[in-house]
């Protein structure tokens, strides 16, 4: 990647790989860039957190930036990156026009993480107690922003095959503007699985997920109110251990030792938690993207029961590493079966290895980096063929630019008035 030696990533937040799948995904990208010898700078306007990764440990420069402030322009011109990666479309909205203005020849890459439009449309349909329809996406207000951001960028990373199809077929985004890049994971070897605890050495159920993410919180409520009582009636000695970063008081209030429903809070080591548990439960009723919790389960030899949305775009034609069920009664029945049946459990463990090795191999990063390098070399022609992107950059750059400058001037005048 001789033409992509200097890379800037603009983060919505600082990476927390132990808190969310998005944090893990970001670190996979960073490590892929570093492996090729690129200099990587990670910048964000977010406040530091207690659980953010120490970027210096990975040879990454950390830069605190401001929203709606021309100091970013000065920083950008000085850095002069070959590639800018926007972490989700909101950062592209804030900083995309500044990158285009200060560094017009810089390649602009959007990491979508998951398709927010899909997640919000499904969530709205769920709350309205109706079936989600594909046309709901066209009515979702956030779609106008997210799809516009995708067109303004030179390339967008998409983590799910389902979302690739939606972007291409529903929103008519040309495939030249999209790149499918799922989780980048090392292959699971036979000796890795042999080191995992056996069926007999494990006990209880686990649910895990960042509580700030609405689909996770809803899944925990679903477990508490409908699914767990059914499982508990069949397995009275079993417990459900619920883990997740950033639990609120309302989360802690769900803890009930008598029911075996135990809120554990943040998992210090997800691998340790998963490897000691017999079955992972992920009854997600809305959401998008790929589910890091289910990847963690498969990597630790832990079968799972999830929904169609939970398993979406993960098995890709292979059988699931456990069961898929979309109603509470069936979900509880499948969870009970998986918990008790050694043969089915062992088969699910092997299936998880197959899914990881076939669908999420880290070698995909090599092809991605080659694609980026070629795109950088052919950037003028690529942009000329993205007329909608040129049009949106022309108009939105003007409106976003002047709104940002107005906010900056307002803040500056406010500061002087305080003096």
What pLDDT score was predicted for residue 226?
Answer: 98
What pLDDT score was predicted for residue 398?
Answer: 58
> In which residue ranges of the chain is CATH 3.40.50.2000 found?
6-184+362-418, 190-359
**Which range has the worst mean pLDDT, 71-80, 129-138, 184-193?**
184-193
Residues paired with residue 85 on neighbouring β-strands, in sequence order:
9, 109
Give 190-359's CATH code, choosing from 3.90.550.50, 3.40.50.2020, 3.90.660.10, 3.40.50.2000: 3.40.50.2000
Which percentage of the chain shows pLDDT scores above 70? 94
- Do residues 365 and 310 lie in contact, with contact meaning Cβ atoms separated by under 8 Å? no
- Residue 55 pLDDT class (50, 70, 90 cuts): very high
- Residue 417 pLDDT class (50, 70, 90 cuts): very low
Closest CA to 186 of 290, 32, 47: 32
The values of phi and psi at residue 275, to 5°, are -70, -15
Phi-psi sector, 184: left (phi>0), alpha (psi -120 to 50), beta: beta
Which percentage of the chain shows pLDDT scores above 90? 89
What pLDDT score was predicted for residue 414?
Answer: 56
From the centroid of its chain, how far is CA 58?
20
What pLDDT score was predicted for residue 193?
Answer: 82
- Do residues 397 and 100 lie in contact, with contact meaning Cβ atoms separated by under 8 Å? yes
- At CA 117, angle to CA 51 and CA 44, rounded to 5? 35
Task: Report the alpha-carbon distance of residue 100 to residue 102 in Å, rounded.
Answer: 6
What pLDDT score was predicted for residue 254?
Answer: 97
- Do residues 177 and 167 lie in contact, with contact meaning Cβ atoms separated by under 8 Å? no
Average pLDDT on 28-39 reads 96
Supply 218's token pair. Answer: 């809803």
Average pLDDT on 15-35 reads 94
- Residue 419 pLDDT class (50, 70, 90 cuts): very low
Supply 141's token pair. Answer: 């207000």
**277-305 tens-digit pLDDT:** 999 999 999 999 999 999 999 999 999 99
Burial 200-235 (b: 16+ CB within 10 A, else e): eebebbbbbbbbebebbbbbbebbbeebbebbbeeb
CATH topology of domain 6-184+362-418: Rossmann fold (3.40.50)
**141-169 tens-digit pLDDT:** 999 999 999 999 999 999 999 999 999 99
Task: Report the alpha-carbon distance of residue 39 to residue 161 in Å, rounded.
Answer: 30
Across all residues in the chain, what is the average pLDDT?
94
Q: Coil, strand, or helix at residue 196? A: coil
What pLDDT score was predicted for residue 43?
Answer: 98
This prediction's pTM: 0.92
Task: Report the alpha-carbon distance of residue 165 to residue 163 in Å, rounded.
Answer: 5
What pLDDT score was predicted for residue 393?
Answer: 87
**Which range has the worst mean pLDDT, 68-72, 128-132, 317-321?**
68-72
């Amino acid at each position: 990647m001789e033409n992509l030696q200097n890379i800037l990533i603009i983060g919505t937040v600082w990476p927390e790989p132990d808190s969310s799948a998005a944090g893990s995904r970001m670190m996979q990208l960073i490590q892929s860039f570093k492996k090729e010898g690129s200099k990587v700078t990670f910048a964000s306007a977010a406040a530091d957190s207690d659980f953010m990764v120490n970027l210096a440990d990975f040879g990454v420069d950390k830069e605190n930036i401001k929203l709606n402030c021309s100091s970013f322009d000065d920083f950008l011109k000085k850095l002069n990156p070959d590639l800018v990666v926007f972490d989700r479309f909101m950062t592209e909205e804030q900083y995309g026009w500044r990158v285009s203005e200060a560094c017009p020849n810089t390649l602009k890459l959007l990491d979508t993480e998951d398709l927010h439009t899909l997640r919000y449309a499904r969530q709205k349909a769920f709350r309205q107690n109706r079936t989600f329809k594909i046309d709901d996406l066209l009515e979702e207000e956030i779609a106008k922003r997210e799809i516009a951001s995708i067109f303004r960028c030179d390339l967008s990373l998409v983590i799910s095959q389902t979302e690739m199809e939606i972007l291409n077929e529903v929103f008519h985004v040309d495939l030249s503007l999209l790149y499918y890049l799922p989780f980048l994971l090392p292959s699971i070897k036979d000796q890795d699985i042999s080191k995992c605890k056996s069926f007999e050495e494990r006990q209880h159920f686990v649910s895990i997920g960042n509580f700030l993410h609405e689909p996770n919180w809803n899944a925990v409520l679903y477990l508490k109110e409908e699914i767990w009582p059914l499982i508990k009636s069949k397995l009275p000695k079993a417990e459900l251990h619920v883990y997740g970063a950033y639990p609120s008081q309302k989360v802690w209030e769900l803890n009930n030792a008598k029911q075996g429903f135990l809120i554990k809070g943040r998992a210090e080591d997800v691998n340790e938690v998963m490897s000691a548990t017999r079955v992972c439960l992920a009854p997600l009723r809305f959401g998008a993207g790929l589910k890091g919790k289910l990847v963690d389960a498969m990597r630790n030899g832990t079968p799972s029961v999830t929904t169609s949305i939970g398993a979406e775009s993960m098995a890709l034609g292979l059988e699931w590493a456990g069961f898929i069920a979309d109603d509470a009664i069936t979900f509880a029945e499948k969870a009970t079966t998986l918990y008790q049946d050694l043969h089915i459990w062992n088969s699910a463990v092997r299936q998880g290895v197959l899914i990881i090795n076939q669908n999420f191999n880290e070698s995909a990063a090599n092809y991605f980096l080659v694609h980026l390098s070629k795109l950088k070399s052919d950037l003028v022609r690529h942009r000329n063929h993205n007329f909608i992107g040129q049009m949106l950059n022309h108009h939105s750059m003007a409106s976003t630019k002047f709104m940002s400058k107005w906010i900056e001037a307002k803040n500056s005048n406010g500061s002087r008035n305080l003096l």
